[in-house]
A and B are shown apart, each in its own frame.
Chain A
Amino acid sequence: EVDLVESGGGLVQPGRSLRLSCAAFGFNFNDYAMTWVRQAPGKGLEWVSSISGNGASGGSTHYADSVKGRFTISRDDLKNKVYLQMNRLRAEDTAVYYCAKSPGYSSNYFDSWGQGTLVTVSA
């Protein structure tokens, strides 16, 4: 059974950094694209970043304009983990961050979600 477990959230001051992790279980991790999606309190879902699996596109990454240049997605296929390094955090980055798995090595729709980890950016 597929399971995704996020960690690393917490309270952080504006301008500081935080790294989120998502541990994957129950599937051949390196074959699948992974994505981070966030949800600000009381708001809708916002796609943040995706990284492809190790197919023809070889770990290509994509970012929302709102995080480009500040956030970096990466994956460690030996540890079955995907990461989101978040730098220069802003109050508007406050959200629950979910990792999600795509059904193939290309990023498209999601077939499994983690439970989320809350990031609060506040002085």
Chain B
Amino acid sequence: IQMTQSPSSLSASVGDTVTITCRASQDISSSLAWFQQKPGKAPKSLIFAASSLQNGVPSRFSASGSGTDFTLTISSLQPEDFATYFCQQYDGFPFTFGPGTNVDVK
């Protein structure tokens, strides 16, 4: 299953709302996760089952979608949110990740 993300990068300011899109090459139901990664650091799990927040993830993060089309939205972007975001399908092996979306400072 191929995963694509758009945009590949975006520039935003603190307080902005940003939306990232992830698309699967076939129906994966709700078997989708989102991760955040900062340079030189391990990924951090944000979302599972397409729309469920991991424990401790701020409520400004939200996600939706099912089937092949998914979105991650960050409301009121905070300084610590500038990072790269990846989606990942776990509907079946091999698990596959999207190429990432880099969110940087405008």
**A109 and B48 in contact, given A98-B43, A116-B42 (Cβ under 8 angstroms):** yes
* Nearest A residue to B99, CB-CB: A44
CB atoms of B42 and A98 under 8 A apart: yes
A112 on the interface (CB 8 Å rule)? yes
B71 on the interface (CB 8 Å rule)? no
- How far, in Å, is A12 (CB) from chain B's closest CB? 22
* Nearest A residue to B96, CB-CB: A47
B33 on the interface (CB 8 Å rule)? yes
- The number of A-B residue pairs with CB atoms under 8 Å apart is 56
- Tell me the dominant secondary structure on chain B's binding face: loop
**A44 and B42 in contact, given A110-B33, A111-B48 (Cβ under 8 angstroms):** no
CA distance A107 to B42 in the complex (A): 19
**A62 and B94 in contact, given A109-B88, A115-B42 (Cβ under 8 angstroms):** yes
CB atoms of A45 and B97 under 8 A apart: yes
Which of chain B's residues 60-106 have a Cβ closer than 8 Å to chain A? 86, 88, 90, 93-100
